[in-house]
Amino acid sequence: MSYERRALVASPTAPAQAAAAELADALDWVDPAEADVIIALGGDGFMLQTLHGLLDRRAAPVPVFGMNLGTVGFLMNEWRRHGIGERLDRAKSFKVTPLAATITGIDGRVHRAPAINEVSLLRETRQTAKLEVTVNDRVVMPELACDGILVATPAGSTAYNLSAQGPILPLGSNMLALTPISPFRPRRWRGAILPDKARITLRVLDPAKRPVSAVADQREFRDVAEVAICMDRARELTLLFDPEHALDDRITMEQFVS
């Protein structure tokens, strides 16, 4: 596919700004609102920020081709100044479906937030969090004592989820990872792999004594009482990758990294 109207966005970091300056006069760029593809310069955090910006727009999200000028760059391609048009023509596209989190605070206020990588619940104090876990309206764990718990998409399964000893989920697996963070009781529970059609509800037990925060990618909500999580299939995103640097292969190869 040929992308004629390209927009350039960059992280505020010095390397990303320097790269953006190199590209600014080399190619013709349009405003992101008018583009049919976005070139994002930065790291994974900036890529998530860019994608969340697309979710906030009413128009259908356009594809994003990222180039790494950050640290890890798992969601990015290699930074190269030249040949962007040819790379876009050859790029493989991957659909990413975000999670939708409905977060109810102990004050009764309700917040809704998307998450591309994961939704996590974390204890706010030294007190262990105590959570009730429900899947498809069935209580599957009446009480989980832990530092927290997270629900990760396949795209996010190699991020915080992997650091918490959660499973790597191949793209297209139609699965979600439900992963505890430092579980104390039941101590040996290592989480579950669920169909991505599952509806997951995490209820905080005794939230006044054991306060818990919820984080949807980069947005934090403190003092929550309950978080309901499901896939949001109406808000699909598209990432573009060089064929030799494709996201599905990178996720697969993460299982063989020592």
User: Which of the residues are catalytic?
Assistant: 44
Would you say 89 is a known binding-site residue?
A: no
Would you say 160 is a known binding-site residue?
A: yes
Would you say 173 is a known binding-site residue?
A: no
Could you give the CA distance from residue 224 to residue 213 in angstroms, rounded to a whole number?
6
Would you say 45 is a known binding-site residue?
A: yes
Whether the bond between 170 and the residue before it is cis, its omega within 30 degrees of 0, is: no
Would you say 136 is a known binding-site residue?
A: no
Neighbours of 128 (CB within 10 A): 17
Nearest-5° angle of CA 94, CA 97, CA 101?
155
Could you give the CA distance from residue 100 to residue 103 in angstroms, rounded to a whole number?
10
Would you say 155 is a known binding-site residue?
A: yes
Would you say 159 is a known binding-site residue?
A: yes
| Distance (Å) of CA 183 to CA 111, 187, 189, 213 | 27, 5, 7, 17
Could you give the CA distance from residue 62 to residue 33 in angstroms, rounded to a whole number?
9
Would you say 3 is a known binding-site residue?
A: no
Would you say 158 is a known binding-site residue?
A: yes
Q: Where are the beta strands (DSSP E) in 78-195?
A: 92-96, 99-105, 110-115, 118-123, 129-135, 138-152, 175-185, 192-195
Would you say 66 is a known binding-site residue?
A: no
Would you say 162 is a known binding-site residue?
A: yes
Q: Which residues are annotated as a binding site?
A: 44-45, 117-118, 147, 155, 158-163
Q: Which residues are annotated as a binding site for NAD(+)?
A: 44-45, 117-118, 147, 155, 158-163
